[in-house]
Structure 1
Amino acid sequence: MSKYEIISTLVSILAIVVSTISLVRTRKLVQEQLELEKVTAELSKLQIDGIKREKAEKIKPKLNVVLSKLDKNYYFYITNTGQGTAYNVNFELVDCEDSPLVGDLLEKFPHPEMKTNSRVKLIAAIHKQSPLKYQAKVSWHDSEQQAHDETFWVTL
């Protein structure tokens, strides 16, 4: 073999080595890109799910019960602080032998509709022997006709 043939062979071998190294690095890079795309797709899915949940939470009613005193009288306030409307709202005191609720409970409940920021006021006949806390249960239907109920502990 001549000198030129040896140089030519060495250059060819060097080219093969460089090509092989380049091929291995390219495969690793492609594999990392695929993994990154999978992670990005999962993150996108989680973000979409989070946005859907936030949107669903925004249109749900959120009811709250408070017992407060105004002048000399006590009142139970049932309030919708959520963005959605609550339908067929019911109110009851749980395990309450000496109920402070006066007759307007039957007139006001079941309440057909409670829109955002609306409230219902019930007169409470509180006396010195009344318990200091009450367990109140509120049940309602949302706009999709799904039943919900929540229990609150209200105190004087």
Structure 2
Amino acid sequence: MSKFEILSLLISTLAAVISCVSLVRTRKLAKEQIELEKVTAELSRLQIESIAEEKSNKTKPKFNVTLTKLGKSYNFYISNTGQGSAYNVDFDLIDCSDTPLSTRELQDMFPHQEMKPNSRIKLMAAIHMNSPRKYQAKLTWENEGGEKYEEIFWPTM
């Protein structure tokens, strides 16, 4: 073999080695790219779920029940701090044999037809020395679609 043929063989062998290395690196990069696309797709799915949950939370009411003392009188406050309205809101004290609430006031106020966002209901409470310090209150309501919800609160003095 002549020098020219040997040189041609070396150059072509070198080109084949470079091509093989390039092929291996390209496959590795393609595999990483596919993994990255899977992660991006999963993140996109989670973000879409988060946006949908956020959107549904904007139409939901969020309630809070507190028992506060103002001067010498006590009041139960039922507040809607959410961004959605609640319908047919009802309020009950559970397992309370000596209720501090007026039966007439409860009958007049509840079920409350609609509680809009940032609204509240005030109920006078006749608290005395033998009254419990903690009450279990159940709040029930419906959303715009008529689905019923209930939540238990533990207001304390």
1:98 aligned partner:
98
2:84 aligned partner:
84
Aligned residue identity for 1:35:
E
Give me the TM-score of the superposition, normalised by structure 2: 0.94
2:5 aligned partner:
5
Unaligned runs of 5+ in 2: none
Contact 1:60 1:85 in 2 (8 A): yes
Unaligned runs of 5+ in 1: none
| Segment of structure 1 superposing worse, 38-47 or 139-148 | 139-148
The separation in 2 between residues aligned to 1:40 and 1:123, in whole angstroms, is 55
Task: List per-residue Cα deviations over 1:78-122 (Å, max 9, x = no partner).
Answer: 110111101110100000001111020011101110001111111
Cα distance, 1:144 vs structure 2: 3.0
Find out whether 1:19 has 2:7 as its counterpart: no
Over aligned residue pairs, what C-alpha RMSD do you find?
A: 1.2
Aligned residue identity for 2:146:
Q
Cα distance, 1:70 vs structure 2: 2.5
Find out whether 1:120 has 2:138 as its counterpart: no
The separation in 2 between residues aligned to 1:119 and 1:17, in whole angstroms, is 78
Cα distance, 1:65 vs structure 2: 0.7
The separation in 1 between residues aligned to 2:60 and 2:25, in whole angstroms, is 52
Aligned residue identity for 2:88:
N
Percent identity over the alignment is 62
Runs of 4+ in 1 over 6 A off after TM superposition: none
